[in-house]
Structure 1
Amino acid sequence: MGTDVTPRLSMKSAFETFLTAACDRLGYSASIKSLLSLAALEIKVEIPIVRDNGELAIFSGYRVQHQSARGPCKGGLRYHPEVDIEEVRGLASLMTMKTALVNIPLGGGKGGIDCDPHKLSLRELETLTRKFVKRIHREIGPNSDIMAPDVGTDARVMGWIHSEYSAIYGHSPAAVTGKPLALGGSVGREKATGHGIGIVIKEYSARYGTPLKGATVAIQGFGNVGLHAARAVTELGMKVVAVSDSRSAVYRKGGVDIDALAKRKKERGLLCETNDHDALDPAHLLETECDYLIPAALGNVITAENAPHIAAPVIVEGANGPVTGEADRLLKERGIAIVPDILASAGGVIVSYFEWVQNLQREVWSLEQVDAQLANILGKAARDVFDHAGENSLDFRSAAFDIAVSRVKEALDATGF
């Protein structure tokens, strides 16, 4: 994870590269490309809070609503010290493509606050969250922009957002998703992104005849997405041989003990303090020899510098924008297949959509309903991408962007553009 601005700029830059290529393939004009690139609304607010020690701290909060032609904007809220407007712009753009690709009636948005949640007390986090909602409440809501968890946030943070928004507008569960079940959250939401990665890999295996049983997997990131992805691929008969978090990594040739690692991570905060696993340099996890590599942490982790050392023949993007534009080109030249984030990590936004629908209709779905609908929607999206790629001799990212861009363009045309 770098400290300069270049990696963060590259996420938006990568989106522009993929968007331009899609517009060229589809024969769209420069005007259409501009409409698809520009955000509809960008918000920056300063959030002062009094720390527990009595000192004043000021944080910057951002929310970008990229495109709402297909429905209300939808996207996560992340708490991370490197959050800035460029990163949020890029992430919001990707969300527009993601919701369009899986064909749910939502647009794309993203938000963030430049804080380190691990260095804030619970009271400070709650105060920061509630003040952020007070600053932007007029621009968010169930019919305009619906937030959800992301890096550094969770169901508890979404509960605070729900509470603060409802204090202004009355009980409004559909204003935010990823909430605790007690506040109208949906079963299956916590595991949705990681579980969805398993669905996409299963579709990939069925289409291309690659065996699942015994196939090896390395996962960068052992938070919510990485943990549930590990469980999902294990249920498919695959073998997770390496996992990492931001500070540690472990490897075991015969397959790691996922539950033991999760328990130790929760207790100690590190993965490497686990018996019967070999410590691994986290920086080298991406270069692990395996059948599938799943980057499931932050964006821009696979770059032009480390792309030549990637050993896995298939990369499944569990994080948002983990591969830079230049790395994407280098990997394609090496024949490495990349299942893009707007497909592979779409499980979370699909189940967020289910939660929004349940809240609007005052319904409660069973886990069986959620899982079945997720498999239907995400499975079809995967098959659409593989079909389009095969029929037009495209890589998966290009195929996914073609489908998504054409759907957003169709919605823009219908509105009168």
Structure 2
Amino acid sequence: MAIDIINPYDVAVAQFDDAAERLGLSQAMRAILRKPKRELTVNFPVRMDNGDVEMFTGYRVQHNINRGPAKGGIRFSPQVSLDEVRALAMWMTWKCAVVGIPFGGAKGGVICDPHKMSRAELERMTRRYATEISILIGPDSDIPAPDMNTNPQVMGWIMDTYSMHRGYSIPAVITGKPLAVGGSEGRLEATARGVQVVTRAALRDLGMIPEDCKAVIQGFGNVGSIAARLIKELGCKVVGLSDISGGVYNPKGIDVYTALRYSREHGSLLGLPGTETVTNSELLELPCDVLVPAALENQLTKLNATRIKARLVIEAANGPTTLEADHILNDRGITVVPDILANAGGVTVSYFEWVQDLQRFFWAEGEINERLENIMQRSYQAVRRKSEEQHVNLRLGAYLLAVARVAEATEIRGVYP
């Protein structure tokens, strides 16, 4: 299936414009919130293992910081672009606002293929990128986190690099770190745990019984693999899974623990015993009740939205649904829990980690999960109430809440000078 070439930043701006129109925001407010506050592009050399020097390009974009320090992940991918990072930064602004945590939105990325780099090359590239963006990041200004193809070790290198420049340890400069250097209990599972909370709540609202539901999860990275396990724990039968290599399907159900073990041992889900192979495109159109896109942007488009069979879509990925697909799914009566709510568990526990680092006082995992559950439940209910009051879908309900909160902070602070 051909995938539309869609600029994610255009999607992000159009989603904002829709909310701004309904909120009646002034021309000045719309102009301010449509544009990122800061954009940094860096080109930097890295010495490779064979002695050659390669140039890499990286970005760090801060969309809005009126509610607090900028917050957002760093991704390493050949597909990274400035417009993608702009869109992700804007989505982070709304995500932090919708769950009510005191951060603004940011995002970063490096154009590279980390799977083709040695560990030593990856470390050198990460440390050089961290050095280049150190003029923006800091525990009071901009706190990065893991994203696609980055992990706790990468965060540890960034924390160490920043700390070396300052001459003392500053764990609060970044979140998603290993526990040994100031990471938080529960952070690795946080995004997927938030997905589980909103899935349970949405199923209840729709009168769907988890034990009677079939689920399909696209993406088997940190978020997708853990979400598959936690959705199975809700009682749903997982019938389809996919990773970058393709998908696997069994209408009678897939044992998620077996899939996790097989993926670790073989580096892919393909060939998982007891399943048939499907493409990633076919996976999205499988018969199911719950569909969880947990991979890339622009996976549900006008080309396949008419063939989606799920009653409930939970956006574990950022921006997986295009504007046209959103309208089609809405017209078909398919409920979509939007990304800025559904996957906000990660940034919520990142906030907890930052607070713990600043205080040098750490919480138990049970306490963290309980706090996360409370915030995600409260945020889901607030979005649902707003959507019902305004007679709009959950995405627009979430945007109306989030944009209003950011606009209020921006209005109070005013335009300087």
TM-score range (shorter-chain normalised) is over 0.9
Deviations 1:261-304 (A, max 9, x none): 11111121121222112222222111011001000011111111
> CA–CA distance in 2 between the matches of 1:205 and 1:160?
40
* Equivalence for 2:17: 20
> CA–CA distance in 1 between the matches of 2:191 and 2:200?
14
After TM superposition, the score normalised by the length of structure 1 is 0.97
Alignment of 1:65-80 (within 5 A): 65-80=62-77
The letter for the 2-side match of 1:71 is: G
SS of structure 1 residue aligned to 2:212: coil
Unaligned runs of 5+ in 1: none
Does residue 266 of structure 1 match 2:281? no
Out of 106, 126, 131, the residue aligned to residue 129 of structure 1 is 126
The letter for the 2-side match of 1:76 is: G
Alignment of 1:233-252 (within 5 A): 233-252=231-250
* Equivalence for 2:104: 107
Alpha-carbon deviation of 1:225?
Answer: 0.4
Alignment of 1:36-51 (within 5 A): 36-51=33-48
* Equivalence for 1:294: 292
> CA–CA distance in 2 between the matches of 1:220 and 1:117?
21
Contact 1:59 1:115 (C-alpha < 8 Å) held by counterparts:
yes
Q: Which aligned runs of 4 or more in structure 1 are off by greater than 6 angstroms?
A: 1-4
Out of 221, 224, 246, the residue aligned to residue 222 of structure 2 is 224
Segment drifting more, 50-59 vs 77-86: 50-59
Does residue 253 of structure 1 match 2:247? no
Alpha-carbon deviation of 1:370?
Answer: 0.6
Deviations 1:98-152 (A, max 9, x none): 0000000001000000001100100010000000111111210111100000001
Does residue 151 of structure 1 match 2:151? no
Out of 192, 198, 201, the residue aligned to residue 200 of structure 1 is 198
Segment drifting more, 29-38 vs 150-159: 29-38
Alpha-carbon deviation of 1:307?
Answer: 1.4
Contact 1:358 1:364 (C-alpha < 8 Å) held by counterparts:
yes
Alpha-carbon deviation of 1:209?
Answer: 2.2
Out of 327, 330, 336, the residue aligned to residue 334 of structure 2 is 336
Out of 89, 92, 109, the residue aligned to residue 89 of structure 2 is 92
Out of 366, 373, 376, the residue aligned to residue 374 of structure 2 is 376
> CA–CA distance in 1 between the matches of 2:298 and 2:200?
25
> CA–CA distance in 2 between the matches of 1:2 and 1:77?
28
Deviations 1:68-109 (A, max 9, x none): 000000000000001010000000000000000000000100
Contact 2:245 2:270 (C-alpha < 8 Å) held by counterparts:
no
The letter for the 1-side match of 2:161 is: E
The letter for the 1-side match of 2:231 is: V
Out of 281, 284, 287, the residue aligned to residue 283 of structure 1 is 281
* Equivalence for 1:320: 318
Contact 2:19 2:400 (C-alpha < 8 Å) held by counterparts:
yes
The letter for the 1-side match of 2:26 is: S
SS of structure 2 residue aligned to 1:179: coil
Contact 2:3 2:301 (C-alpha < 8 Å) held by counterparts:
no
Contact 1:315 1:336 (C-alpha < 8 Å) held by counterparts:
yes
Contact 1:44 1:60 (C-alpha < 8 Å) held by counterparts:
yes
Contact 1:148 1:158 (C-alpha < 8 Å) held by counterparts:
yes
After TM superposition, the score normalised by the length of structure 2 is 0.97
* Equivalence for 2:350: 352
* Equivalence for 1:141: 138
Aligned residues: 414
Contact 1:45 1:61 (C-alpha < 8 Å) held by counterparts:
yes
> CA–CA distance in 2 between the matches of 1:272 and 1:139?
41
SS of structure 2 residue aligned to 1:213: helix
Segment drifting more, 273-282 vs 256-265: 273-282
The letter for the 2-side match of 1:315 is: V
The letter for the 2-side match of 1:362 is: R
* Equivalence for 2:396: 398
Alpha-carbon deviation of 1:342?
Answer: 0.2
Alpha-carbon deviation of 1:314?
Answer: 1.3
Contact 1:3 1:82 (C-alpha < 8 Å) held by counterparts:
no
